[in-house]
A and B are shown apart, each in its own frame.
Chain A
């Protein structure tokens, strides 16, 4: 019988620890497929964040290093400086990238470090129990905003992809969503583009991925996908915010 579908080389054969309906599994697979399609597994190094995806190395058969909370871009900068031929990427959540590590994010992007950032925006802190993230929607109920995010107290959600697109060091900045099959395919294209930008030596690339967290959105997996399509994209419009060569 002809095999039409299988596990891509970079994915390990293991059980998932992620919750049912979580977006990490899809995002992990897309990253792995892109790495294999580009044929860069043997020179790729990943940086895992603090958050649910700290265990990314259970799933990717890659050289991977853990980083303190928010520091993956700094760790990646150090790595890339040793061997610029390595393809270096970070995989970070919204708390990691846009709260505790925003300084590292901004400066790494501004230096135009030739690395790729895969940014999972699920609007909550997943691992610690569903607290408010910098990307939590206005009015969204979380463990630390029981009456909903109050913009007078906490301001508005941070638009990472748009913000970074303003920096000359950034060559590619895009926001995509894991809300349905067409969008998942677009997500893969964006990830591929981001890695390609790095392979071409063009500088910093980031893909912001709107990703479901059914557990802390208190929704079913199906409701969660609907939430991305109907609510999340209104706050976080999808699209490419920057695509150019490094100036």
Chain B
């Protein structure tokens, strides 16, 4: 019998490959992608692994094609995934809107880079708005998971497939160039994919009437009803799927808020502050949608200050302001364009606010 250690062997892997391995372990056998930096290791890894496990890898002619191949594979019941980086994710938005409207599961990985436009290939958190506030057209939500280390890349990718199937909804892994490129040890724990019944899948209408999957509702009141049902689903997701890591919120005078790569650096800065006698804590949202609103709303102390650290010009900070309800106590530290915050500099800002 294999020991637990053997089952959970730790290996040194590049972040992009960790996502790929988690997807394979989670039962993903259909991957469609198009080259773009800084996520190319994931595409190459899936090309190799899909051959090994007898899955389907297809390098598509465009991001548009890739997301629509995901749509087709998902409509036929497969656990399907695509990945890209910021400009490519913009191209996928049309398909994501359709997938959300048709209520199909799908996992989309965005290894973010700097924007707008072609931007650059440096790590960035430039796509928070796009991921969390809609991205494509129409009133829809996608679940957005924000890993901050390789282990979370592995665990959250596995979770993404379960959530996508459970809610028949797209799920995005919002990583960045640091996470994608970085190598660190990760425990490849055994993943037991959740088996969700899919009575809506297109298989050919054997001994039954034909099924249809669509996002078009022309009959009077039809689209209104469909949207109401989507909103009901989103309320269920908000009630059940918020994930967040917190540290010393109650004792802190200054609470740092960050996700992804910037959360790691922010946690180190909070520790540095504590060592110097400053009452500091942090909130690290793991689900960016649903946003951990209650953590902020339930905080009754009206003197606490919040420092939001992002590798952009201030995007999540708007959600923090919304939830805190007092903009005067919410501060922002961040830049766009490939900038990475230094622990020392975050610490200085925490110190200034304390």
Residues of A in contact with B (beta carbons under 8 Å apart) = 41-45, 47-48, 54-55, 57, 60-68, 71, 74-83, 86-87, 103-104, 106-107
Contacts and interface: CB of A to CB of B under 8 A. Distances in A.
A71 B68 contact: yes
Contact of A74 (B30, B68, B202, B209): B68
Contacts of A80: 72
Given A66-B216, A77-B69, A104-B64, A44 B204 contact: yes
Given A77-B72, A78-B70, A63 B65 contact: no
Interface string B198-209: 000011111101
A181 to B, nearest CB: 29
Given A74-B69, A86-B76, A66 B204 contact: no
B13 interface: no
B213 A66 contact: yes
Contacts of A65: 71-72, 75, 102, 202, 212-214
Contacts of B207: 42
Contact of A82 (B73, B211, B212, B214): B73
Interface of B: 30, 32, 56, 58, 60-62, 64-66, 68-78, 80, 94-95, 98, 102, 202-207, 209-216, 218
B72 A63 contact: no
B53 to A, nearest CB: 14
Contacts of B215: 66
Given A66-B215, A78-B30, A79-B202, A61 B65 contact: no
Given A65-B72, A81-B69, A74 B210 contact: no
A50 to B, nearest CB: 9
A64 B71 CA distance: 13
A90 to B, nearest CB: 10
A29 to B, nearest CB: 16
Contacts of A78: 30, 32, 68-76, 78, 80
B71 A42 contact: no
Contacts of B74: 78
Given A41-B205, A78-B80, A79-B202, A63 B61 contact: no
Given A71-B68, A75-B69, A63 B214 contact: no
The 4 closest A-B pairs by CB, nearest first: A78-B72, A74-B68, A78-B69, A43-B204
Most buried by A among B75, B94, B211, B215: B75
A74 B64 contact: yes
B65 A104 contact: yes
A45 B205 CA distance: 8
Nearest to A76: B72
Contacts of B216: 54-55, 66
A64 B78 CA distance: 16
A186 B220 CA distance: 40
B94 A61 contact: no
A106 B61 CA distance: 10
B58 to A, nearest CB: 7
A86 B203 contact: yes
A156 B62 CA distance: 26
A75 B60 CA distance: 12
B203 A61 contact: no
Contact of A62 (B56, B62, B76, B205): B205
Given A71-B95, A79-B72, A66 B205 contact: no
A42 B209 CA distance: 10
Given A71-B95, A74-B66, A81-B73, 17 more contacts: A42-B205, A43-B203, A45-B203, A45-B204, A57-B214, A61-B205, A63-B202, A63-B212, A65-B213, A66-B213, A74-B69, A75-B71, A78-B70, A78-B74, A82-B72, A83-B76, A104-B61
A71 B213 contact: no
Most buried by A among B30, B74, B214, B215: B214
A63 B211 CA distance: 5
A81 B65 contact: no
6 contacts: A42-B206, A63-B204, A74-B60, A74-B72, A78-B70, A107-B60
B94 A82 contact: no
A68 B212 CA distance: 15
A60 B210 contact: yes
A101 B248 CA distance: 53
A48 B214 contact: yes
A180 to B, nearest CB: 31
A221 to B, nearest CB: 25
Most buried by A among B60, B70, B95: B60
Contacts of B214: 48, 57, 64-66
A41 B208 CA distance: 11
Contacts of A45: 76, 202-204
A79 B210 contact: no
Nearest to B214: A66
Most buried by B among A43, A61, A79: A79
Contacts of B204: 41-45, 62-63, 86-87
B286 to A, nearest CB: 29
B75 A68 contact: no
B165 to A, nearest CB: 15
A48 B211 CA distance: 13
B72 A57 contact: no
A77 B70 CA distance: 9
Contacts of B73: 78-79, 81-82
